[in-house]
Chain A
Amino acid sequence: MFDWTSFVHSLPLLGQALLVTLKASLAGNLFGFLIAIPVTALRLSSRPLARTLGASYIFVFRGVPLLVQLLVIYYLLPTTGLPNLSPMTAAVLALSLCSGAYIAEILRGGFLAIPPGQIEAARLLGIGAATTLVRIELPQAVRLTLPSLVNELVLLIKASALISVVGLADLSRVAQNLAASDYLFFQHYLVLALAYCLINLPLTFSGRLLERHLARSQYRAAE
């Protein structure tokens, strides 16, 4: 039933594909987080224009399917005179922009849970808005929303299966290629599914641990 020779031979390829998947989704998550911070700040600004801007970003990048974003960035942007992007750059860009919108929505809840008095206290001490954001609001917002943030990373890793459309040999693409070459569809897709589970299981698990740790620790924002 299970062809071990084929499996062993596929391992080097799968290993490389795993790296591509991890690289794209981890970079996408990191840059997405960095994008989400100013987007959240805009979203929660007291200025209507800023709020509209933040909301529009979230609307667009959550509303348009990731697949379409990938295609637009990789195939369409160069036709408008913008420079060609390498497949990996295009993939990371699309994943970042997209997860930035989702992470911004997650962080928003965290920011809203911070008592406004803490920010007034910072203002009165002369601490500027940007410093308050980074030093006082963000650390608490991240702690408050950690489970959702880890969940978002898991979702992004799974969504990254789409990056093969720009020609990247990620896990999904390599498994497809392997299956096409020796027709062992069931086996290769089984391995593919297990590979995703093996990446995401420890993530989910450590997310839970972290959550429980924070709930117990003195850092917790409640009180």
Chain B
Amino acid sequence: MSQSPTTPQARFPAIRLDQVGKRFGDHQVLEGIDLEVAHSEVVCLIGPSGSGKSTLLRCMAFLEHYDQGEIYIEGALIGWEIDDQGRRRRASNRRLRQSRSNLGMVFQQFNLWPHMTALGNVSEALKRVKGLSRLDAERRGRQALERVGLLDKADAHPARLSGGQQQRVAIARALAMEPKIMLFDEPTSALDPELVGEVLAVMKRLASEGMTMVVVTHEMGFAARMADTLVFLDHGRIIARGAPAQVFGEEAPPRVRQFLQDYLERNALLIDANTEAPGAMPSSISAGDGAAAATKGMF
């Protein structure tokens, strides 16, 4: 995953964050975030609810305007322009669009357009942004739907699809634009437990194809197995990062261990209730075998 033969050697990381900060009013939601995401790397952002994971991801796409530091997407500063005096100004819409063309984003709530079919959702931007003819756009749209295994649902409206299918259409919609980087914000959190697996499977395939991915997730099993790098956020700061075995390991800060402990207990309850829990988790977080245990029962 970390070195895909299909990815050309790049001069800069896919994403680079330098001392990024963001406040809402006088609430400092992110502070001093440094992060690099290499091409084909899979980074999972984890941490308690309200720790700033969504805000961080949204800053990367400039859906939130970070007000300190810099975020570079494929080497270009996103959203801001810095003038001679070092003051920041909003970048032009054209430049913002250019930066964003490297990004595909998948949201917790899918955000499909309900008045369009699956194929309509997937081919809309191909027509309106890439300027493809209807025929070409639909051909490419069908290819994208095929990648997520939903070619047979091309003519269905979102309301006729299960949550898992809707999220896969949303992934196809982003993929159709051929982004270099995919951002996922809790893509399975709105799904019934039995539908989580199909979405994670699509993401897993993407990762193995060398896609650069940043994933906010509560699926610790997925994070442990798929992430090249885990980033643990707490109160707007990164308090642990590294390979899953390391972050889930013995040297983890107390805050991280507490988080995992809570997660385990919640899942243990689930397992008690269902005997078989999808997305089940490490039975132990003891050093080293945490990551291995985490994969148990995932796929």
Q: Which chain B residues border A131 with CB–CB below 8 Å?
A: 128
Q: Which chain B residues border A125 with CB–CB below 8 Å?
A: 124-125, 129, 173-174, 177
Q: Nearest-CB distance from A133 to chain B (Å)?
A: 12
**Interface residue? B220 (CB, 8 A):** no
A143 touching B63, Cβ below 8 Å: no
**Interface residue? B114 (CB, 8 A):** yes
A127 touching B114, Cβ below 8 Å: no
Within the assembled complex, what's the spacing in Å between the Cα atoms of A128 and B125?
10
A115 touching B109, Cβ below 8 Å: yes
Within the assembled complex, what's the spacing in Å between the Cα atoms of A115 and B108?
13
Q: Mark A48-62, 1 if CB is under 8 A from B, else 0.
A: 000000000000000
B107 touching A121, Cβ below 8 Å: yes
Given A120-B63, A126-B177, A127-B124, residue A115 in contact with residue B111 (CB < 8 A): yes
Q: Which chain B residues border A118 with CB–CB below 8 Å?
A: 111-113
Q: Which chain B residues border A124 with CB–CB below 8 Å?
A: 61, 63, 100, 103-105, 174
Q: Nearest-CB distance from B11 to chain A (Å)?
A: 24
Chain B interface size band reads 20 to 34
Within the assembled complex, what's the spacing in Å between the Cα atoms of A139 and B112?
14
Q: Nearest-CB distance from B65 to chain A (Å)?
A: 12
Q: Which chain B residues border A128 with CB–CB below 8 Å?
A: 128
Stretch at the interface among A7-15, A65-73, A215-223: A215-223
Q: Which of A118, A123, A124, A136 has the most CB of B within 10 A?
A: A124
Within the assembled complex, what's the spacing in Å between the Cα atoms of A143 and B159?
15
**Nearest opposing residue in chain B for A223, CB measure:** B159
Q: Nearest-CB distance from B168 to chain A (Å)?
A: 15
**Interface residue? A63 (CB, 8 A):** no
Within the assembled complex, what's the spacing in Å between the Cα atoms of A122 and B101?
12
Q: Which chain B residues border A218 with CB–CB below 8 Å?
A: 156-157, 159-160
Q: Which chain A residues border B61 with CB–CB below 8 Å?
A: 124
B111 touching A219, Cβ below 8 Å: no
A219 touching B157, Cβ below 8 Å: yes
Q: Mark B131-164, 1 if CB is under 8 A from A, else 0.
A: 0000000000000000000000000111110000
**Interface residue? A140 (CB, 8 A):** yes
Interface residues of A in 98-114 (CB under 8 A from B): none
Q: Which chain A residues border B97 with CB–CB below 8 Å?
A: 126
Q: Nearest-CB distance from A27 to chain B (Å)?
A: 27
B159 touching A127, Cβ below 8 Å: no
Q: Which of A125, A127, A219, A223 has the most CB of B within 10 A?
A: A125
Within the assembled complex, what's the spacing in Å between the Cα atoms of A49 and B210?
47
Q: Nearest-CB distance from A209 to chain B (Å)?
A: 19
Within the assembled complex, what's the spacing in Å between the Cα atoms of A104 and B78?
35
Q: Mark B91-124, 1 if CB is under 8 A from A, else 0.
A: 0000001001101110101011111000000001
**Nearest opposing residue in chain A for B117, CB measure:** A218
B157 touching A121, Cβ below 8 Å: no
B174 touching A219, Cβ below 8 Å: no
Q: Which chain A residues border B129 with CB–CB below 8 Å?
A: 125-127
A135 touching B109, Cβ below 8 Å: no
Given A125-B177, A126-B97, A126-B100, residue A221 in contact with residue B111 (CB < 8 A): no
Within the assembled complex, what's the spacing in Å between the Cα atoms of A98 and B262?
60
Given A126-B177, A218-B157, A219-B157, residue A117 in contact with residue B125 (CB < 8 A): no
Q: Nearest-CB distance from B68 to chain A (Å)?
A: 22
**Nearest opposing residue in chain A for B96, CB measure:** A123
Q: Nearest-CB distance from A219 to chain B (Å)?
A: 5
Out of B105, B128, B158, B170, name the residue touching A135 (CB < 8 Å).
Answer: B128
B100 touching A223, Cβ below 8 Å: no
Q: Which chain A residues border B111 with CB–CB below 8 Å?
A: 115, 117-118, 120-121
Q: Which chain B residues border A136 with CB–CB below 8 Å?
A: 113, 124
A126-B100, A127-B124 given; name 9 further pairs at CB < 8 Å: A115-B109, A117-B107, A117-B111, A121-B170, A123-B100, A125-B129, A127-B129, A221-B114, A222-B114
B residues lining the A interface (CB < 8 Å): 61, 63, 97, 100-101, 103-105, 107, 109, 111-115, 124-125, 128-129, 156-160, 170, 173-174, 177
Chosen A-B contacts, 18 in total, with CB atoms closer than 8 Å, are: A115-B111, A117-B109, A120-B63, A120-B111, A121-B107, A121-B111, A121-B170, A123-B100, A124-B174, A126-B97, A126-B100, A126-B129, A127-B125, A131-B128, A140-B113, A218-B159, A221-B115, A222-B159
